[in-house]
């Protein structure tokens, strides 16, 4: 708030030097100090960042997939190194806080905020290498002004009011953010020029070969949106593909990528036993159950069928609820709900507890049999791809529901 002084009264103007000239003299004295202060303020607002030397280097760091789930797809980061200014910083856009209130709810809804963080580069890279992940470094052919601009952009992004962002698994993640920063500085697109046209799902599938149960869960949750082909720019959402994009892109008329160095070699990851993968296990379990039923004289009881329907229905409730409630576009429009029908749950409960079956329950069992058979035969024509592990489950569902429609001659437990 400005404070204003009253003009003196009861004095003759000619009795002292005019106040106007005093004010002018004071302004002339203060102007140099005001300008200097303004320059210092402007410098302070830009963070007082040092000017990078001519020997400064900017590079893309890429980690190979690791053993932990959060390491399954690898990682990307940007390294700024300037030995003359004692700078060696690693900028990482993939940081999240497990202590966030309602962490899993926010993650499922798409409200979890990821953030940019910075760490000493050499120390961080050594730590990752010690975990057995491979680490490569691709230097970026940037001019000194571009290196300075990138450094300043990252530091501004690091401010508390700028560092957080809402994570999108495909379109806004720890690999797409470094791509965006590089594009803003160079003014040139970073794209995978030699990319084979693949859908998002096809690009993800190879990463689940080592973790097939996780792959099944992800396949059940992802909707039809991931079946569209990723553009050469969107293909950068995976760290290995971002590295390929940088190596094949330009900075003006010059190649964007310089030398690629392998800092650490990746250690072999444990292989998952093929016989314990979901598809094999479901086929083995289903065939074993069917043979047991044959050996017991083809008799059956109702409760296993009811249990199958309840499990399918509860899973359908979860998938449908997540698909409609979440803001994540990758979960919308899920064709798995054609066989994971939430109505299976009340039908199973009715089958389990009702003494007499109403007519509509028999009609529903017929519907479940026919829907399962149609899905098995014609799912290849749908716009969404499905995990091979679901087909033995559909055979089990169709078989058990068909048994309930046949006359019961025995009362075996299975």
Percentage above 90 pLDDT, the chain? 74
- With a CB cutoff of 8 Å and minimum separation 6, the contacts of 9 are none
**Tens digits of per-residue pLDDT, 328-386?**
999 999 999 999 999 999 999 999 998 888 889 999 999 999 999 999 999 999 999 99
Predicted pLDDT of residue 130: 94
- The model's pTM is 0.83
45, burial (CB in 10 Å: exposed 0-12, middle 13-18, buried 19+): exposed
Is the pLDDT assigned to residue 288 strictly greater than 50?
yes
What integer pLDDT is reported at residue 297 of this predicted model? 74
Residue 293 pLDDT exceeds 70: yes
Of the listed ranges 16-20, 60-64, 212-216, 264-268, the least confidently predicted one is 16-20
Tokens describing residue 41: 């303020």
Tell me what pLDDT residue 168 has.
Answer: 92
**CB within 8 A of 4, min separation 6: which ones?**
none
Beta bridge pairs of residue 77: 61
At residue 17, the 3 state secondary structure works out as coil
Per-residue model confidence as pLDDT tens digits over 51-79? 999 999 999 999 999 999 889 999 999 99
Distance of CA 336 to the CA centre of its chain: 21
Which tens digit of pLDDT belongs to each residue from 172-207? 999 999 999 999 999 999 998 877 789 999 999 999
pLDDT at 251 exceeding the cut of 50? yes
Residue 22: is its pLDDT beyond 50?
Answer: no
Q: What CA–CA distance (Å, rounded) separates 188 from 264?
A: 30
- pLDDT in the model for residue 409: 54
Region of poorest pLDDT, from 5-19, 125-139, 209-223: 5-19
Rounded mean pLDDT of 243-272? 95
C-alpha torsion 321→324→327→330, nearest 10: 90
Average pLDDT over residues 259-268: 96
CA distances from 52 to 78, 83, 250 (A): 16, 10, 23
CB 403 within 8 A of CB 305: yes
Q: Which residues pair with 63 in a beta bridge?
A: 75, 135
51 burial type by CB count under 10 A (0-12 exposed, 13-18 middle, 19+ buried):
exposed
Position 406 scores a pLDDT of 82
Burial status of residue 55 (CB atoms within 10 A of its CB: 0-12, 13-18, 19 or more): exposed
Q: Which residue has the higher pLDDT, 283 or 355?
A: 283
Rounded to the nearest 10 degrees, the angle between the axes of helix 278-295 and helix 212-221 is 90
Residue 322 near residue 315 (C-beta atoms within 8 A): no
DSSP 155: H
Q: Give residue 336's pLDDT.
A: 98
Contacts with 93 (C-beta within 8 Å, 6 or more apart), sequence order = 76, 77, 114, 115, 116, 165, 173, 174, 177, 178
pLDDT exceeds 70 at position 410: no
Out of 13-22, 112-121, 288-297, pick the least confident: 13-22
What is the C-alpha radius of gyration for the chain, rounded to an integer number of angstroms?
32
* Residue-by-residue DSSP string for 160-219: TTTSEEE-BTTTBSTTHHHHHHHHHHH-S----TT----BHHHHHGGGGSS-HHHHHHHH
Give the per-residue pLDDT at 358.
Answer: 86
C-alpha span between 302 and 328 (Å, rounded):
39
**Domain residue spans in the chain?**
57-195+230-264, 274-404
Which residues, 6 or more positions from 20, have their beta carbon under 8 angstroms from its beta carbon?
Answer: none
Which of the residue ranges 41-55, 220-234, 251-265, 397-411 would you say has the lowest mean pLDDT? 41-55
- Pick the closest to residue 325 from 65, 178, 110 (CA basis): 110
- CA–chain centroid gap for 171, Å, is 8
**Which of 313, 330, 314, 320 is CA-nearest to residue 107?**
330
For domain 57-195+230-264, give the CATH number.
3.90.1720
pLDDT at 196: 77
Q: Is the pLDDT of residue 13 over 60?
A: no
58, with CB counted inside 10 A (0-12, 13-18, 19+), is buried
| Contact call for residues 354 and 361 (beta carbons, < 8 A) | yes
């Amino acid at each position: 708030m400005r404070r204003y002084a009253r003009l003196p009264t009861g004095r003759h103007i000619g009795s002292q030097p005019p106040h106007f000239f005093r004010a002018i003299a004071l302004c002339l004295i203060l102007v140099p100090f005001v300008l200097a202060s303004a320059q210092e303020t402007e410098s302070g607002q830009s963070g007082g960042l040092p000017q990078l030397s001519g020997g400064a280097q900017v590079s893309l760091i890429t980690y190979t997939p690791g053993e932990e789930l959060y390491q399954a797809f690898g990682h990307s980061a940007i390294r700024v190194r300037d030995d003359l200014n004692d700078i060696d910083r690693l900028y990482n856009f993939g940081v999240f806080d497990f202590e966030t209130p309602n962490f899993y709810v926010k993650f499922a809804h798409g409200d979890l905020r990821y953030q940019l963080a910075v760490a000493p580069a050499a120390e961080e890279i050594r730590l990752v290498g010690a975990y057995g992940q491979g680490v490569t470094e691709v230097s970026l052919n940037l001019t000194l002004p571009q290196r300075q601009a990138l450094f300043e952009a990252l530091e501004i992004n690091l401010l508390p009011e700028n560092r957080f962002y809402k994570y999108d698994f495909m379109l806004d993640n720890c690999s797409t953010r470094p791509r965006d920063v590089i594009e803003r500085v160079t003014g040139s697109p970073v794209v995978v020029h030699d990319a084979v046209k693949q859908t998002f799902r096809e690009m993800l599938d190879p990463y689940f070969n080592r973790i097939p149960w996780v792959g099944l869960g992800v396949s059940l949750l992802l909707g039809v949106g991931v079946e569209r082909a990723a553009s050469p720019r969107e293909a950068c959402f995976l760290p290995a593909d971002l590295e390929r994009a940088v190596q094949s892109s330009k900075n003006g008329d010059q190649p964007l990528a310089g030398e690629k160095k392998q800092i650490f070699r990746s250690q072999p990851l444990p292989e998952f036993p093929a016989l314990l993968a979901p598809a094999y296990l479901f086929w083995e379990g289903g065939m074993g159950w069917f043979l047991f039923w044959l050996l017991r004289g083809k008799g059956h009881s109702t409760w296993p069928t009811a249990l199958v329907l309840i499990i399918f229905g509860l899973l359908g409730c979860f998938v449908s609820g997540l698909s409609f409630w979440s803001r994540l576009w990758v979960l919308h429009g899920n064709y798995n709900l054609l066989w994971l029908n939430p109505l299976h749950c009340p039908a199973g409960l009715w089958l389990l507890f009702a003494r007499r079956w109403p007519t509509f329950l028999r009609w529903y069992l017929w519907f479940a049999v026919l829907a399962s058979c149609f899905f098995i035969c014609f799912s290849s024509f749908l716009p969404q791809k499905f995990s091979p592990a679901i087909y033995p489950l559909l055979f089990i569902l169709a078989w058990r529901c068909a048994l309930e429609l046949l006359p019961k001659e025995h009362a075996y437990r299975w």
